[in-house]
Amino acid sequence: MNEYIPAVHRTMYFIGVTTKKSSIMKVFPLWADHLNLDAEIKGFDFEPHANPELYREAVQFIKNDPLSLGALVTTHKIDLLKASRDMFTNLGQYAELLGEISSISKQGDNLWGHAKDPITSGLSLEAIVDGGYWQNTHADLYLLGAGGSSLALTLYLINKRKTNGDTPDKILISNRSEARLTEMKKIHAAVGTGGINFEYYLCPTPEENDLLVTKLKPGSMIVNATGLGKDRPGSPLTDKVIFPENGIIWDFNYRGNLVFLEQARNQADGRSLKVEDGWVYFIHGWTRVVAEVFHIDIPTSGQDFDILSNLASSTRL
């Protein structure tokens, strides 16, 4: 049960499921100190798909409490916005398009909602692949899972492609059930794919995902965007999967029993794989929302960004 006690210090909230377990509880005080935010962080936990009234209560509290400045939202991004849309004065362009928010912030009396994933997933991708990678390798991108973060990454790449940036020519997406694939196809059709060739696959079993992996070109990137390994146990692939030579294997998560990453690490030497977890995504995700909530400029790369990244990493030791 969350308690809505008026803040006596400037406060940012984390709206999630098991917020106390997140690294941000250790990281935020270090960042707050370094950035002179004079602020603290508190978590509000909800079961997935909670009662809409509970989301409204949290948003109402943040909106009305002067020292409660905003929040980062995970897991409840769609449900929270659905429940409390009328309380927001402004929504960012991606929040409107996706019907979700990961950032709640205030400007005077106005309550703002932003969907940051199409930006932060892209920043994370760029931190992992070298400049010109797709053009040089002609490799594919395979997204396991067609949920919010997977869709966000495709939107980032579509935008990049439309401005002549370097992107994969082909992106494969698989999901265990149809609904999210259909939703993704609909959004891609509405925005236009900019010439990227998207292939959508309904794959109820890990064996079917394995089969798609065998179709990928050398150097391809495979992303676990299913939450398997953190939100639920297991991996979307079987132990028999054979990763593409020189592939880049990325799990969006950094905590949990990350079986998918273990499968990749077992083949890392033999097949020359680059294996990445979701830590860099965590850093970009949080820094973009902190910048929004406190109305400060936080660069997305360079020395000042590296200081924040190193401070965060120091809590992992």
Ligand X SMILES: NC(=O)c1ccc[n+]([C@@H]2O[C@H](COP(=O)([O-])OP(=O)(O)OC[C@H]3O[C@@H](n4cnc5c(N)ncnc54)[C@H](OP(=O)(O)O)[C@@H]3O)[C@@H](O)[C@H]2O)c1
Give the binding site for ligand X (CB under 6 A): 144-150, 174-177, 179-180, 203, 209, 225-228, 230-231, 236, 252-254, 278, 281-282, 285
Report in angstroms how near the CB of residue 71 gets to ligand X at its nearest: 15
Report in angstroms how near the CB of residue 108 gets to ligand X at its nearest: 30
Q: Which amino acid is at 252?
A: F
Taking the least distance from each CB to ligand X, the nearer of 7 and 173 is 173
Taking the least distance from each CB to ligand X, the nearer of 13 and 61 is 13
Q: Distance (Å, rounded) from C-alpha 44 to C-alpha 28?
A: 15
Report in angstroms how near the CB of residue 3 gets to ligand X at its nearest: 25
* Cα-only R_g, the chain: 20
Report in angstroms how near the CB of residue 242 gets to ligand X at its nearest: 18
Token reading at 214: 């065998």
Taking the least distance from each CB to ligand X, the nearer of 61 and 142 is 142
Q: Which has the closest alpha carbon to 198: 209, 189, 210?
A: 189
Taking the least distance from each CB to ligand X, the nearer of 130 and 178 is 178
Residue nearest to ligand X (CB): 147
Taking the least distance from each CB to ligand X, the nearer of 160 and 176 is 176
Report in angstroms how near the CB of residue 292 gets to ligand X at its nearest: 16
Please report the DSSP string for 94-106 in residue order. Answer: HHHHHT--SEEEE
Token reading at 40: 């603290």
Report in angstroms how near the CB of residue 210 gets to ligand X at its nearest: 11
Q: Which has the closest alpha carbon to 129: 110, 103, 156, 109?
A: 156
Close Cβ partners of 306 (under 8 Å, ≥ 6 residues apart): none
Q: Is 46 helix (H, G, I), strand (E, B) or coil?
A: coil
Taking the least distance from each CB to ligand X, the nearer of 159 and 238 is 238
Which residue has 């401005």 as its token pair?
163
Contact 167, 157 (CB under 8 A): yes
Q: Distance (Å, rounded) from C-alpha 121 to C-alpha 150?
A: 9
